[in-house]
Structure 1
Amino acid sequence: MLFTKLRASTLTNTGSSNNIFNSQTVLPISQIIIRKKNKPKKVESPHQPPPPPPTKHNMIWGAPFWNFFHILAEKIDEAQFANLRRDILSMIFNICSNLPCPDCTAHAVSYLKGINFNNILTKNHLKEMLFNFHNAVNVRKGIVLYSRNELNEKYSKGNFQNGLKTFLYFFQMRHNNIRLLNEDLHRRHIAKELELWFQKNISHFH
């Protein structure tokens, strides 16, 4: 079954102890402490120019993920939303629980646990949730916020199948890090489930 880790009860916000949206547990984040030898400190010139600002868009997978989420919400057939709603919400939570970045996963899961998914009943509700989610991430990263008009105009022109293929490519991307091998394998398993689900339901997206 699709997304077997998420039972139907997990999409409620009732305060139950097994409710993923109220659980305080987040995915463990590995921490590596590297001991460095003491080195003499460099004397910096008082006239030395400040370092350049950090690059804002340094995660190559970020844009394809948001693109997929927004196009998904934009292109779903509104008449079919009630039938697909639970799968779609489970899909979004499962993806955000397995991002190729432990810190990003922890932030995303924490945000989603604060949402009452029972209130997301229509296509517009889903679009609004993703709009607020995206801008919450932008605030944390210091990126310019989207307006609703910009969001609607950009993603209404998107191609759903292209967005899906690009997302799956980056979601399955391998990392040259032995610590992330298990996570890479798990994401490829999720990607296969997603492909099968969309093959079955692609007619409900335009």
Structure 2
Amino acid sequence: MVVGVSGASGVIHGVRALDALRELGVESHLVVTRAALLTLSQETDLTPDDLTGRADVTHRLQDVGASIASGSFRAMGMIVAPCSVRTMSEIATGVTSSLLTRAADVTLKERRPLVLMVRETPLHLGHLRTMTALAEMGAVIAPPMTAFYAQPQSLEEAVDQSVGRALDLFGLDWRPVKRWTGLKGPAGEA
């Protein structure tokens, strides 16, 4: 699985995606933007080495000759967690300036799953139109939103639920995900 981490808030989603893939025994190929490293330093106590150490393979952002830049590289798909609006926009236009956006473009070209955990709010019409264009191209827009039915008791549980639901889109079942089991109590009775 290719994992992109871009410079939006919520870098912990990329960190936990890498942790989940390791737990699931799925080889991960990581590419990180410079802005993501800045966000990592602002939102966590992790170092760049802590992040890259979670991946099986780390690729340099400007290495457009890397394996993940080619459609012949076999991957189950790509997740960008979090996905900045800039990254989303580059992917939507096909005018890529880095390995991260090139790998996403290749993922779409090869008709493999591309999941973008877009992290921005509020959204203006240009953002929404870009998301629509990406959905029409085959990408899945999966913003990290709290599932309150899972009754998260901590920020970590809310993050894990969002990451786990994104991984569901690749057919991966990560143990922290709490599944909906139906209504409970009087409203759920027949």
TM-score (norm 2): 0.29
TM-score (norm 1): 0.27
Greater length-normalized contact order (CA 8 Å, ≥ 6 residues apart)? 1
Greater helix fraction, Structure 1 or Structure 2:
1
